[in-house]
Structure 1
Amino acid sequence: MQEFLLSTAIVALAEMGDKTQLLALLLAARYQKPVPILIAILLATLINHGVSAMVGQWVTTVLSPEILLWIVSLGFIAMAGWMLIPDELGDEDENINKWQKYGVFGATFVLFFLAEIGDKTQIATVALAARFDSIFWVTAGTTLGMMLANAPAVFIGHKLAEKLPISLIHKIGALIFLLLGVGALIQHYLL
């Protein structure tokens, strides 16, 4: 259960102000149909994070525990730094227009899935799955964390985003990643 709760908290915090959350805001403002947007985000996240968790587990079979410890620990520490860099959406209006022919659900699914590739939350999912021995609970937790961050963005839109202390949320998320990385090394070498 620890892997589920930690995965949920980490991804919910990492997603605040992330490009995929900004994309969810943009899609909600553009289409004003929250249910198909949320279902598409849920399915895109389940697939993306499910595969990411499998990759994280696979990595544990090809790397020695010592190397894996260093990679995961340094990965969490790097994620702490990455959390402090604000994301920007770029020219997503053009991408939305490109995929609009597939409808609200199709456009949201494709755009969200593609935006999540190489994103903080995907990399966190790989690292969490490598750290914990549970594809299911990590995928469930990271997906729940993604939905906890994006559902309010879809329903409330820009009004909520402007009132959240995004900088503080990023700093808290960075601190959690840093503690995980340093804590894993301390636990291995000192305890």
Structure 2
Amino acid sequence: MFKVTKPTAPVGTIILKSLWYGFIAGMISGMVKIGWEVIFPPRTIERNATNPPQTLLEQFGMTSEQTHSFVMFGDQKVFYVALIIHFAFSIVCAMVYLFAAQYLPITSLWQGAAFGLVVWVFFHLILMPAMGTVPAAWNQPWEEHFSELFGHAVWGWAIAACGFFLAQKDRSKTLVNL
């Protein structure tokens, strides 16, 4: 079912490529996920007044004033602290995906969509509810589950697509299992 090519590049080189390509794939896939959430907003207006990244930072000791810091773009508030967390999470996940795919081919199941679904289940249904960052899964509205389930599948696919494109254009062929 999965074709595995043993990587020939040194592990250090694979790590560096995973970090660099992961940064790029994480930024692009983070934009994809934000775009998805514009079309299918995952939270109610009330729950989004303090979104999960802001809530998490407040749980770690930041003030509401800090987590709700914004800049103006045109006449719109851009909450940059939440965006930093959003993109940092996406970048780290992309780096993990690209590295793990070199050694665990199941990582790239459904061209990355399964990875996105695993991330959704772990963070949105298990970890964040356990921490009190978001309500328990059974107390979240179906619209949130719909948006997050499909949004994470598309996000995972975007990571894989970016990583695949970058790896294919790389003449050194460092990342071979995407």
Q: TM-score, normalised by structure 1?
A: 0.28
Q: Kindly name which structure, 1 or 2, has the bigger radius of gyration based on alpha carbons.
A: 2
Structure (1/2) with the larger helix percentage: 1
Higher RCO structure, 1 or 2 (CA under 8 Å, sep 6+): 1
Q: TM-score, normalised by structure 2?
A: 0.29
